[in-house]
Chain A
Amino acid sequence: MAEAAAGGEPIHRELGLTDEEHDRIVAALGREPNRAELAMYAAMWSEHCSYKSSRVHLRELPTEGPHVLVGPGEDSGVVDLGEGLACAFKMESHSHPSAIEPYQGAATGVGGIVRDVLSMGARPVALLDPLRFGPLEDPRNRWLFEGVVAGIGGYGNCIGVPTVAGEVRFDPAHGPNPTVNAMCIGLLPADRVLRSGGGRLGDLLVLIGARTGRDGIGGVSVLASRTLGRAGRDDRPSVQIADPFAEKLLIEACLELADRGLLAGLQDLGGAGLTCAVSETAAAAGAGAELDLEAVPLREDGMEPFEILTSESQERMLAVVRPEDLAATREVCERWGLISAVVGRLTDDGALRARDAGRVVAEVAARSLTDDAPLYRRAMAVPAGLVEVQADDPTFLSPTVAPGDALLRLLAAPNVASKRWVWERYDSIVQGNTAAGPGGDAAVIRLEGSLRAIALTTDGNGRYGRLDPYLGGAHSVAEAARNVACVGARPLAVTNCLNFGSPERPEVMWAFRETIRGMGDACRALGTPVTGGNVSFYNEAEGSSIPPTPIVGMLGLLVDHRLRLGSALRPGMAVYLLGETFAELGGSEYAETILGAVSGRPPGLDLEREAGLVALVVEAADRDLLAGAHDCSDGGLAVALAEAAIAGDCGFAVSLPGDLPSHVALFSESASRAVVWLDPSAVPALEDLARRQGVPIERIGESGGPRMVFGEEIDAAVVEAAAVYEDAIPGLLGRSAGEPMVRSTG
């Protein structure tokens, strides 16, 4: 029988393992595991590390493409950008720690994703942060929101990586379960990608960076792979503490090691700490590993072997180094003021063996930790009541609010309103390559020494996911592609973070499968493979689960950054609507904010049309036909044009397209649409291009003047719209200049 803890509960259950999983470990070892081995399995077989509930579905995503150098399975995906340059990028969740300690949870989330990119040998060049909270009227939600934003800024600003984009949305279901995702993008020479399988027999395992402490023990198995208890205060010791200064030194030291060719491999220490880094290094190299726990620099005395093996102390990296390169490696670390220690070596017997004071304290097959993890095909069921909610279409409710008032209310709605309060707290310009920072459709980062640039965005709409998870998944990809196209970039590849409730509930698992199906279809249609990502389950607390919240991070490529498009309207332009508007208010911002209805179906999505729109905008940008573009999403055509007007401090006069009721034409969120504006001289070329691409195109009006005029329906001053748009979030926080509850950085 399994060993019991003092409370009577078997230890494996306290560590988050089921009885069946315990039996599986006994079968793999041929004996009972000891305390340290059990902790290693518990961490590695956690949902967070093993993807045991999601793997069977994730296989459905397209992962291959001509530019993909490294697909899922490594720390980050890597895409070839041409001209000898590659891009590593990945997104990950840190929602559970952030719900308990928002500043440290968010800060360590940034640190972790940066190390994922660093471990490929890439210099981190940009961060993006998609966030979801409950309504800001609630003081606890404000505390979480301000803490998370302060944590992201406190970390990103100190390591010199610009935070260039992200999104913030609000939904009551995210109150007890905020969603905090972080995406990092790095650049590296295409021929110098570090892979985890680069080690060979006799190579040394060198631990670089911070000392190992007791912080974060059980982070992945207890915190990230279970439903949080009330308020989660007891879990606070499982949240790690961030030290961005150490991370900055780690970045510079690791990149110098990579540049000098001193590394056979590099792994970050994140979830499951040393156990995960060493077992993955050994398994990928087809080797075993010997670890000497006495050699691990510790922050405190008396740490147990299981604590050293699974600690999630931050700002540590594991380098795989040939013995002849050790002296040079340690010299680089010393120069950057970092501790380095040889903690083990690769062996040929396939075992991961840890010694403490010469005594073997754990011995398991390295592959067993990664490859023998259970794989679950969990039950799936359509949520009760979903069909009825879908049938309740708000499109045909009579509008009770005049269109002009509705537009101003939408511009002040937290999902739509300006997020300047957030992004002015982030350094978005350090490194000097931010051609377009936060506030537009996508950020644009110039590639140094080249005319080319990358475009970056994150997207996800929880309302769509709740009403139809297939469409929620597909729309997240389509909107991301549209955003990237609207700065003039061709969509290249995708990372994702799939945020869901408990996989043990069949309706969650059904929604997860549907989301993957939608995302996969959209990625195939748009030619953007998924190069990696993260699944975050168990986002449930206090009896409430988040809606299906798939978030897509998309990478695009611009051939010439001078041809990038902005979303600030300019006077004297012809204004066009590309795409077609249908009577689709289901799941829209208008339906929620004005009609009080989160019901119906999300807008339909014809992926061929979407691909056509993306191709049209990218080609028109390449041929320098457009002066600017903005995608139509939340709040439809009216909000898209108003945002462009506010950004450019320039009005417009347009007529409403089609013969739809005016509020539908204004606020429908039909997909595959964008507004573009151009010099009248370029009109024939654009119309000709649209006709050849088969994209519906309609000249709806002209830009200029101080007012926004939509036919007979709306006539509002741009300055008035700008005021409600900019003041909404600071107003909800009860301050205008901003006085955040900044917590100690520790």
Chain B
Amino acid sequence: MSGPRVAVITFPGSLDDRDALRAVRLMGGTPVLVWHRDRDLGGADAVILPGGFSYGDHLRAGAIARFAPVMAAVAEHAERGGPVLGICNGFQILCEAGLLPGALTRNVGLAFVCRRIHVRCETSATVFTSTIAAGEVLPVPVKHGEGRFVADPETLARIEGEGRVVFRYCSPAGHLGGEWNPNGSTNHIAGIANDRGNVVGMMPHPEHAVDPDVGPTGGQPMFESLLQAVPAGV
């Protein structure tokens, strides 16, 4: 395989790490396994923090994983402008690590929810959405108990003002509304980016949305964006 090298980090309790590696391979990238105790990213061009319950969600989802040795390398990579995608628990870890603002809290309804939903892409200005038009609707699954995005009013205003909301939960036709929001997330936010657009965190699972035999395909354009962007030297 010769596609861009995409690292997937396995923490103790990571669950969707194999799924992320498989998605990278299916979409034409070169998957690289990275262990939480590693101190480098194995020469990867991009990195994915996968879903799961790292460290059993002890203390708080993502709260312990941010201290894993590999996270220093992730922070450096992000600092250099390298692409970083946090999915589900990975999003929680990025927030805990301060690479993304805000926090993920218990779903409204307090129950875990596994469901096929739709998200509306809000911006093409990230490395993971460069080939997706704003307003495009993608079918993807969610599965989490703590996915309700919250932030203080100032931070929220900044994220919204700077166009850093990447995805919002929506109807299949792209409309917003409480019935389409699976966790009560503020402003229906499903994913956000840092100010440079190279770090994205999202609760839905694009890695479970690349293979039509086992799910929807709304994750494909995200991987396509990433794999196109990386050789261009982001």
Task: Report A's interface with B, CB cutoff 8 A.
Answer: 150, 153-154, 157-160, 243-246, 248-249, 336-337, 423-435, 446, 561-562, 737-740, 742
A319–B196 alpha-carbon span in the complex (Å): 50
B58 touches A (CB below 8 Å):
yes
- What residues of chain B lie closer than 8 Å to A248, measured between beta carbons? 12-13, 15, 53, 56
A246–B12 alpha-carbon span in the complex (Å): 9
- What residues of chain B lie closer than 8 Å to A246, measured between beta carbons? 56
A158–B214 alpha-carbon span in the complex (Å): 21
- CB pair A428–B56 under 8 Å, yes or no, is no
Given A336-B12, A429-B215: A424 in contact with B109 (beta carbons within 8 A): no
- CB pair B213–A245 under 8 Å, yes or no, is no
- CB pair B214–A446 under 8 Å, yes or no, is yes
- What residues of chain B lie closer than 8 Å to A336, measured between beta carbons? 12
Selected contact of B213 from candidates A429, A431, A561, CB within 8 Å: A561
Nearest CB in chain B to that of A246: its residue: B56
- CB pair A435–B213 under 8 Å, yes or no, is yes
B77 touches A (CB below 8 Å):
no
Nearest CB in chain A to that of B182: its residue: A424
Shortest C-beta distance, A166 to chain B (Å), equals 14
Given A432-B211, A738-B111: A245 in contact with B56 (beta carbons within 8 A): yes
- CB pair A158–B110 under 8 Å, yes or no, is no
Given A336-B12, A430-B16, A430-B19: A738 in contact with B208 (beta carbons within 8 A): no
- What residues of chain A lie closer than 8 Å to B19, measured between beta carbons? 430-432
B114 touches A (CB below 8 Å):
yes
- CB pair B112–A429 under 8 Å, yes or no, is no
- CB pair B114–A427 under 8 Å, yes or no, is yes
Shortest C-beta distance, B99 to chain A (Å), equals 24
- CB pair A245–B112 under 8 Å, yes or no, is no
A435–B212 alpha-carbon span in the complex (Å): 9
Shortest C-beta distance, B154 to chain A (Å), equals 30
- What residues of chain A lie closer than 8 Å to B58, measured between beta carbons? 245
Shortest C-beta distance, B225 to chain A (Å), equals 21
A180–B163 alpha-carbon span in the complex (Å): 49
- What residues of chain A lie closer than 8 Å to B56, measured between beta carbons? 158, 243-246, 248
- CB pair B22–A432 under 8 Å, yes or no, is yes
- What residues of chain B lie closer than 8 Å to A337, measured between beta carbons? 12
- What residues of chain A lie closer than 8 Å to B214, measured between beta carbons? 429, 432-435, 446
Given A158-B13, A435-B214: A245 in contact with B110 (beta carbons within 8 A): no
Given A337-B12, A429-B215: A424 in contact with B55 (beta carbons within 8 A): no
B108 touches A (CB below 8 Å):
yes
Given A435-B213, A446-B213, A737-B108: A245 in contact with B114 (beta carbons within 8 A): no
A337–B68 alpha-carbon span in the complex (Å): 13
Can you give 30 A-B contacts (C-beta < 8 A)?
A: A157-B145, A158-B53, A158-B57, A159-B15, A160-B15, A243-B56, A244-B53, A245-B58, A248-B13, A248-B56, A337-B12, A425-B111, A426-B114, A427-B143, A429-B143, A429-B214, A430-B15, A430-B16, A430-B19, A430-B143, A432-B18, A432-B19, A432-B208, A435-B213, A738-B109, A739-B109, A739-B110, A740-B110, A742-B110, A742-B111
Nearest CB in chain A to that of B179: its residue: A737
A430–B13 alpha-carbon span in the complex (Å): 13
B191 touches A (CB below 8 Å):
no
- CB pair A153–B112 under 8 Å, yes or no, is yes
For the complex with contacts A430-B51, A433-B214, 4 further pairs of A-B residues with Cβ separation under 8 Å are A158-B13, A245-B12, A426-B114, A429-B143
Task: Report B's interface with A, CB cutoff 8 A.
Answer: 12-13, 15-16, 18-19, 22-23, 51-53, 55-58, 108-115, 141, 143, 145, 205, 207-208, 211, 213-215
- What residues of chain B lie closer than 8 Å to A434, measured between beta carbons? 214-215
- CB pair A427–B111 under 8 Å, yes or no, is no
Given A432-B211, A432-B214, A435-B214: A249 in contact with B110 (beta carbons within 8 A): no
A433–B211 alpha-carbon span in the complex (Å): 10
A432–B112 alpha-carbon span in the complex (Å): 19
8 closest residue pairs by CB, A with B: A245-B56, A160-B15, A432-B19, A158-B53, A427-B143, A737-B109, A738-B109, A427-B114
- What residues of chain B lie closer than 8 Å to A153, measured between beta carbons? 112
A429–B15 alpha-carbon span in the complex (Å): 11
A337–B215 alpha-carbon span in the complex (Å): 34
Which of B18, B53, B112 is the most central at the interface, judged by chain A CB atoms within 10 Å of its CB? B112
Given A158-B53, A245-B58: A428 in contact with B108 (beta carbons within 8 A): no
Shortest C-beta distance, A733 to chain B (Å), equals 11
Shortest C-beta distance, A563 to chain B (Å), equals 12
Given A337-B12, A432-B208, A562-B213: A424 in contact with B18 (beta carbons within 8 A): no
- CB pair A245–B55 under 8 Å, yes or no, is yes
Selected contact of B111 from candidates A243, A432, A446, A740, CB within 8 Å: A740
- What residues of chain A lie closer than 8 Å to B12, measured between beta carbons? 245, 248-249, 336-337
- What residues of chain A lie closer than 8 Å to B115, measured between beta carbons? 424
Shortest C-beta distance, B208 to chain A (Å), equals 5
A153–B55 alpha-carbon span in the complex (Å): 17
- What residues of chain B lie closer than 8 Å to A150, measured between beta carbons? 111
Shortest C-beta distance, B81 to chain A (Å), equals 30
Shortest C-beta distance, A719 to chain B (Å), equals 15
- What residues of chain B lie closer than 8 Å to A742, measured between beta carbons? 110-111
Shortest C-beta distance, B89 to chain A (Å), equals 11
Shortest C-beta distance, B197 to chain A (Å), equals 28
- What residues of chain B lie closer than 8 Å to A433, measured between beta carbons? 214
Shortest C-beta distance, A447 to chain B (Å), equals 12
Which of A150, A425, A428, A432 is the most central at the interface, judged by chain B CB atoms within 10 Å of its CB? A432
Given A245-B13, A432-B18: A427 in contact with B52 (beta carbons within 8 A): no
Given A158-B13, A428-B114, A429-B114: A245 in contact with B53 (beta carbons within 8 A): yes
- What residues of chain B lie closer than 8 Å to A739, measured between beta carbons? 109-111
A245–B58 alpha-carbon span in the complex (Å): 9
Shortest C-beta distance, A405 to chain B (Å), equals 28
- CB pair A424–B110 under 8 Å, yes or no, is no
- What residues of chain A lie closer than 8 Å to B16, measured between beta carbons? 160, 430
Nearest CB in chain B to that of A338: its residue: B12
- What residues of chain B lie closer than 8 Å to A244, measured between beta carbons? 53, 56
Which of A154, A157, A159, A742 is the most central at the interface, judged by chain B CB atoms within 10 Å of its CB? A157
Shortest C-beta distance, A3 to chain B (Å), equals 42
- What residues of chain A lie closer than 8 Å to B51, measured between beta carbons? 430
- CB pair A429–B141 under 8 Å, yes or no, is yes
- What residues of chain B lie closer than 8 Å to A431, measured between beta carbons? 18-19
Nearest CB in chain A to that of B16: its residue: A430
- What residues of chain B lie closer than 8 Å to A430, measured between beta carbons? 15-16, 19, 51, 143
A435–B208 alpha-carbon span in the complex (Å): 12
A423–B115 alpha-carbon span in the complex (Å): 9
Nearest CB in chain A to that of B22: its residue: A432
A665–B197 alpha-carbon span in the complex (Å): 62
- What residues of chain A lie closer than 8 Å to B13, measured between beta carbons? 158, 245, 248-249
A243–B55 alpha-carbon span in the complex (Å): 11
Nearest CB in chain B to that of A562: its residue: B213
A503–B52 alpha-carbon span in the complex (Å): 43
Shortest C-beta distance, B224 to chain A (Å), equals 19
- What residues of chain B lie closer than 8 Å to A160, measured between beta carbons? 15-16, 52
- What residues of chain B lie closer than 8 Å to A159, measured between beta carbons? 15
- CB pair B109–A429 under 8 Å, yes or no, is no
- What residues of chain B lie closer than 8 Å to A435, measured between beta carbons? 213-214
A150–B109 alpha-carbon span in the complex (Å): 13
A448–B127 alpha-carbon span in the complex (Å): 30
Nearest CB in chain A to that of B210: its residue: A432
- CB pair B22–A157 under 8 Å, yes or no, is no
A426–B145 alpha-carbon span in the complex (Å): 10
A231–B55 alpha-carbon span in the complex (Å): 35
Shortest C-beta distance, B108 to chain A (Å), equals 7
Shortest C-beta distance, A541 to chain B (Å), equals 28
Shortest C-beta distance, A604 to chain B (Å), equals 39
- What residues of chain A lie closer than 8 Å to B53, measured between beta carbons? 157-158, 244-245, 248
Selected contact of A424 from candidates B22, B114, B213, B215, CB within 8 Å: B114
Nearest CB in chain A to that of B35: its residue: A335
- What residues of chain A lie closer than 8 Å to B57, measured between beta carbons? 158, 245
